[in-house]
Amino acid sequence: KKKAIDIINKHKKGGMSQARFQRLRKGAIDHFLKDILEDIEKLFLKEEVVRIIIAGSGNAKTMFNNILPPHIKSKVIDIIDIDFDEAESRLISKAKEIALEDEKETSEKNMSRLMGEILKNGLAVHGLRETMDAVINGQVELLFVNKGYQIRGWICEKCQIVDSGVKDKCPYCGSRISEVDVIEEIIEFAQRTGTTIEFVEDDPRLAKLGGVGGLLRFKT
């Protein structure tokens, strides 16, 4: 917002010709948009950006969208009109509403895709054992987990085998085991293999599938 105010203050028409004023104004706007783009590119290097909402008045927001490189433009979920003097709190509130709605739509599309792949025996797994094996093998592109879902289990301190239930020692190598939440272990494995994780809330379809499932990169 400060950069936008600077443009207004520095490029008031005064006594200059209309043509010169318009040239200077266009140059200032172009420079402003490039500055903002640089800021966003730096943000992309530091953090994982999931969604972008472009807000503003007039044509500037469309101009900005047009100069975005493809990898950034693909994250834009909406372009909205908003007055320059609009309160920042209202802008943030509106952006949250849009982001939440987009999140719900994306989640529904992903769940529908999972169900479709399962029905045709395609690139999908479900249930604890199948999903965990696929995650460990690096096969899972998108992991679905019922929000708040937990399963008591164990991990072998030597061979790192994970399973549900209660054991005194590892049934595979006889070593000591530690009690764990199996779902947490699956999530940790997923994070190590670059898997996207989606926590699903109040969806009976995933509950019927065993609380966890995944869309696969490949089948073995």
| pLDDT tens-digit readout, 127-154 | 999 999 999 999 999 999 999 999 999 9
Higher pLDDT, 42 or 23: 42
| Mean pLDDT estimate for the chain | 86
What average pLDDT does this structure show over 5-16?
50
pTM as predicted: 0.72
Residues in the chain: 220
Q: Which two tokens stand for residue 191?
A: 């994070």
Percent of the chain with pLDDT over 70: 86
* Strand pairing class (124-126; 196-200): unpaired
pLDDT digits (tens, 9 = 90+) for 40-96: 888 888 777 788 998 887 788 888 889 899 989 999 999 988 876 777 788 888 889
pLDDT greater than 50 at residue 11: no
Pairwise CA distance, residues 84 & 86, whole Å:
6
Single out the residue of 125, 57, 139, 126 nearest to residue 91, CA to CA.
57
List domains and CATH numbers for the chain: 2-86 (3.30.420.60), 111-216 (3.30.1330.30)
The whole-number pLDDT of residue 207 equals 93
